[in-house]
Structure 1
């Protein structure tokens, strides 16, 4: 069983990220909050709380419950896709981590595999789950819930000759660190949709490595900050020939909220005849809120099928708001309808999870507004 460990001496030398003048590496996450609520200052164990969703894997506090469908093998350890030396927040993650879990799936799943990560106590708790999928079609739903304290969730995903429909719903009140690290071997496809309701500080990062020929990624995201803060990072690295990736994110900030999306796509020289795109958009709903959109595209090969990126930061359309209010809706109802409509559009590509994606997004927006 492989599980990295980190010493206090190593932790002291680590930094949260490399800083610089470029907006791609500027610090938008308030790391000071994580420093003040680190595993060096808070308990690293917590009791299980009441989890609002039922899951096949439920990690609540320091406890774990499993009710896995047939065909899924459960063992321990990680896949080694993430290491504590990468950053201080990952150092904290592995320092506090008690146990890592590993799932192996080699058969199609008719219904989504539901994973819930939850914390409702004043503590720093780490959850770590690795998933291997080979020669199968698998829908997965991940609920990332942080009510109190500081929670770190790392998901490692290896996909080989498989198709994944992935829905991630983040619902935070406190501090949340989330890392998805995914590796796609040949002839693999991942359709991913992420909806995040930011908490006091939510750092959400998704890394995808398209290593195999003809591997594909479709990523859609909707980060929402209402009086809260979300720093959402998406990174796509393409190594395989004829690989394809498309990232489209539309975020919202409201009531002095901070919504940041930093999206990177890099096509390496080996990824000939590939296509890649990053579209980043943030809508600022009112004065006093912040929206930041930073897409980046780098192509190292001259044999490229297509490559594009765009960035938009805009104010909410007051004319549309006036129209909706003239039809009898309150300002809150109009904004809720607007955000919900975007969520519907983003989730339309999730064929197998469509009803669950719509339901999760609708519930999220309803509770926000």
Structure 2
């Protein structure tokens, strides 16, 4: 299918693509249940759907095949992509672009006092693709992205280019069906991004964030909290540092419960050109009960000898029984104790946010309320 300003791919080209090129490696093996996406691909399901009842108001609301915009004055709207992702990269991106009808570009031209809220939503048995690109230069802006997959299979790709800007990004995944999410960001000179991602997994949630720190002095602080309760999430974070004096720090704490499946794979790579930079990735999964799965795979690679600091660590742990019994001794039942524990971790992870801290706290509470 071919659409104006959107990369296209034919069914024949799709057939030649694979989901992953190195599925047998112990560190980058396939943890996503790709068979489910194959069974619910755009070659089998409708690629159009009516807009559903969206529970959240936003400046951009993409629901089914519908799109509504209510943008502030200093955000400009156009169509097309930034070219940071292509259909030939993988079979899932091939599906994304095959089903994509329109891609939208947002250009932030001035500081935003209120968060720019973007909602991607599907509540129909279909394969629907949404694609949003964001450009920010010389601005300060908070951004909230709601990724909501109730039925069917939904693919959301967010492309971001930032330069001399300070951005806070809160990403909230609320999934029941199948979800594919890709955030791909290019950080130019003087760009600072503080990001927090919290995911309530669906039948299968594949969530990937790629950050390329290209400009001198660009910075990334990334925190993630994937939660799988009787469901599955494969959360990937990739940080590539090219510019001198760049700084990145990734910390992820995930939870598995009731036969849930939570995986975090985190890559941090400092290239030879990124002299005097610092980089770190910390990954931890807490398994809340027997029968649940947790996988933590952080990877750090440094190609330059002129490095300020570099660190990585991994942990997969059972739920802290001492903390659990302490909370129980204060009169809480087991579900309340677990909920309070998870909520506390979420607050700690989101403490780096300034403008969006209250929003993050509220969303963490909503995602775990009634789940445990």
Question: Into which bin does the TM-score normalised by the smaller protein fall?
Answer: over 0.9
- The alpha carbon displacement at 1:22 in A equals 2.8
Q: Quick check: 1:43 aligned with 2:46?
A: yes
Instruction: Trace 1:68-107 onto structure 2 (pairs within 5 A).
Output: 68-107=71-110
- Structure 1: distance between partners of 2:26 and 2:345: 26
* Partner in structure 1 of residue 295 of structure 2: 292
**Equivalent of 1:187 in 187, 190, 211:** 190
- The alpha carbon displacement at 1:300 in A equals 0.3
* Partner in structure 2 of residue 221 of structure 1: 224
* Partner in structure 1 of residue 62 of structure 2: 59
* Partner in structure 1 of residue 283 of structure 2: 280
RMSD of aligned alpha carbons: 0.8
- The alpha carbon displacement at 1:326 in A equals 2.0
Please give the TM-score of this superposition, normalised by the length of structure 2. 0.98
- The alpha carbon displacement at 1:145 in A equals 0.2
* Partner in structure 2 of residue 138 of structure 1: 141
* Partner in structure 2 of residue 331 of structure 1: 334
- Structure 1: distance between partners of 2:140 and 2:68: 24
Q: Which runs of 5+ in 1 are unaligned?
A: none
Does the 8 Å CA contact 1:286/1:315 hold for their aligned counterparts?
yes
- Structure 2: distance between partners of 1:80 and 1:109: 25
Please give the TM-score of this superposition, normalised by the length of structure 1. 0.99
**Equivalent of 1:163 in 166, 169, 179:** 166
Deviating 4+ runs (over 2 angstroms): 19-24
- The alpha carbon displacement at 1:19 in A equals 2.6
Does the 8 Å CA contact 1:213/1:240 hold for their aligned counterparts?
yes
- The alpha carbon displacement at 1:20 in A equals 4.1
Q: Quick check: 1:341 aligned with 2:344?
A: yes
- Structure 2: distance between partners of 1:255 and 1:339: 15
Segment of structure 1 superposing worse, 187-196 or 359-368: 359-368
State the Cα deviation string for residues 272-322 of structure 1 (Å, max 9, x = none).
Answer: 000000000000000000000000000000000000000000000112212
Q: Quick check: 1:212 aligned with 2:221?
A: no
* Partner in structure 1 of residue 121 of structure 2: 118
Does the 8 Å CA contact 1:2/1:79 hold for their aligned counterparts?
no
- Structure 2: distance between partners of 1:365 and 1:20: 32
**Equivalent of 2:361 in 358, 362, 367:** 358
Does the 8 Å CA contact 1:144/1:171 hold for their aligned counterparts?
yes
Q: Quick check: 1:241 aligned with 2:261?
A: no
1:368 aligned counterpart, secondary structure: coil
- Structure 2: distance between partners of 1:101 and 1:37: 25
Instruction: Trace 1:315-330 onto structure 2 (pairs within 5 A).
Output: 315-330=318-333
> How many residues are paired up?
369
- Structure 2: distance between partners of 1:275 and 1:2: 38
Does the 8 Å CA contact 1:44/1:124 hold for their aligned counterparts?
yes
State the Cα deviation string for residues 145-204 of structure 1 (Å, max 9, x = none).
Answer: 000000000000000111110000000000000000000000110000000000000000
1:348 aligned counterpart, secondary structure: helix
- Structure 2: distance between partners of 1:62 and 1:97: 9
State the Cα deviation string for residues 126-160 of structure 1 (Å, max 9, x = none).
Answer: 00000000110010000000000000000000001
- Structure 1: distance between partners of 2:162 and 2:131: 17
* Partner in structure 2 of residue 34 of structure 1: 37
State the Cα deviation string for residues 57-91 of structure 1 (Å, max 9, x = none).
Answer: 00000000000001111000000000000000000
* Partner in structure 2 of residue 108 of structure 1: 111
- Structure 1: distance between partners of 2:152 and 2:26: 29
1:139 aligned counterpart, secondary structure: strand
Q: Which runs of 5+ in 2 are unaligned?
A: none
